[in-house]
Amino acid sequence: MGTETEEKRENMLTVSQLNLYIKQIIDSVPMLNGIVVKGEISNCKIHSSGHIYMSLKDESSVIRAVMFRSSASRLDFTPKNGIKVMAKGRISVYERDGQYQLYVDYMMVDGIGDLHLAFEQLKQKLNAEGLFAPEHKKKLPKYPKKVGVVTAPTGAAIRDIINVLSRRFSYSDILIYPVLVQGVNAAESIVKAIEYFNEFNAADVLIVGRGGGSIEDLWAFNEEIVARAIYKSEIPIVSAVGHEIDFTISDFAADLRAPTPSAAAELVVPSQTELIEKFNNVYSRLTRCALNIVEKKRFSLKYLEDKNVIKNPNAKLDEKRMYIDSLTMSLDNLISKRMMEKQQSLGVMVSKLDGLSPLGTIARGFSVAKTLDNKVIKRVEDVNSGDKISVVVENGEINATVD
């Protein structure tokens, strides 16, 4: 009887001892460490401490989960009820409640829609902060002297922008800041360019963008740091990313969104053809007005002559006619002089633009070597024997192998 009582006492545990014992057993199972659990978030609560408490459920079961602040700070989306996720972590026991749960170290949205979800969440966040508000949009200058372009140094986008700006308004200087437009460091490269133009007040308006591509290719323009750099810019910015159907966070943060890089070039400068036509119209109106005044004066003089109001009318009339003829000649000379000055100025600006254009440099016999991931080769150390490269020349690209 005494022995049986002693055995019962040896098997007797407090609640805390039992929970600790179960925790030690679960913690010792290798399969439950580094496990990935798929499920839908429910009962999600983001604590002021930064910890995230939630449950993961499927059609028939549920498990409690917690993600501590150190891990939660690395998330690229905001957990919400209803989002399906894949959570990586370990299973352990919370001793106080005797509750086993998933301790999450990393979590990502389950499925191909994670980029779209991140896009929408960042869009809502920045919109709530007022980054897209109309009252913050700056007006573009009517006649910009300097147009800054932030894009890749090669490709269709930069060629289209240069061609349109040169044709449409040759009086503007084009300043190109070459950047990465996709990849790991692309967002930082774009931000650096925007900050440079603002620091040195190097342009009157900026075009920021690239050609078309997939959502992954365009993702640098969906980064938060790019949107905030655009918002902080004192220089008006036109966002020109992808094709007409593509929308990025940069489009919403910019002062104006253009559907394509070519359209952006159309928007930032006026048409010099239209301006010359307006100038010619004004010139014609002034000429007609001057001739009308001359005719009225001649009529008045003729009237006075016929009425014999003035003495020696013929002499007075000849004097007035000579004066009117002198005014007419002065007006014609002044107009001709102004037209010649404008034509000379236009020629100087066109020559200057040709000298600055990277395409003009290539046309004079130079070339640009780049790697297959569009990185410009500046030094011999940038390549190794056997690397595949391309050489940009005037009428295309030459594929080559480094020997």
What is the per-residue pLDDT for 112? 45
Region 280-307: mean pLDDT is: 82
Instruction: Show the tokens assigned to 93.
Output: 């026991």
Is 3.90.1640.30 the CATH classification of the domain at 117-268?
A: no
Tell me the whole-structure pTM to 2 decimals.
Answer: 0.50
Give dist(CA 397, CA 319) in Å, integer. Answer: 73
What is the per-residue pLDDT for 352? 67
CA atoms 195, 201, 206, 210: torsion sign: negative
CA atoms 281, 284, 290, 293: torsion sign: negative
What is the per-residue pLDDT for 6? 58
Please give the single-letter amino acid code of residue 140: L
What is the per-residue pLDDT for 47? 93
Region 300-317: mean pLDDT is: 66
Residue in this structure with the two tokens 């301006």, named with its chain if needed = 275
Confidence tier at 358 by pLDDT (50, 70, 90): low
What is the rounded radius of gyration, in angstroms, for the C-alpha atoms of the chain? Answer: 37
Q: What is the pLDDT of residues 376-390, one digit of tens each?
A: 888 888 888 888 888
Residues 6+ apart with CB under 8 A from 110: 38, 84, 85, 86
Mean of per-residue pLDDT scores for the chain: 86
Region 177-199: mean pLDDT is: 96
Residue 362 has pLDDT above 70, yes or no: no
Distance of CA 1 to the CA centre of its chain: 85
Domain limits, the chain: 14-111, 117-268, 272-358, 367-401
Q: Which CATH architecture has domain 14-111?
A: Beta Barrel (2.40)
Whether the CB-CB separation of 386 and 402 falls below 8 Å is answered with: yes
Residue 357 has pLDDT above 70, yes or no: no
The more confident residue out of 134 and 336 is 134
* Among 70-84, 191-205, 333-347, the range of highest mean pLDDT: 191-205
The more confident residue out of 8 and 216 is 216
Please give the single-letter amino acid code of residue 73: S
Whether the CB-CB separation of 204 and 235 falls below 8 Å is answered with: yes
Residue 127 has pLDDT above 90, yes or no: yes
Region 66-70: mean pLDDT is: 95
Give dist(CA 204, CA 324) in Å, integer. Answer: 46
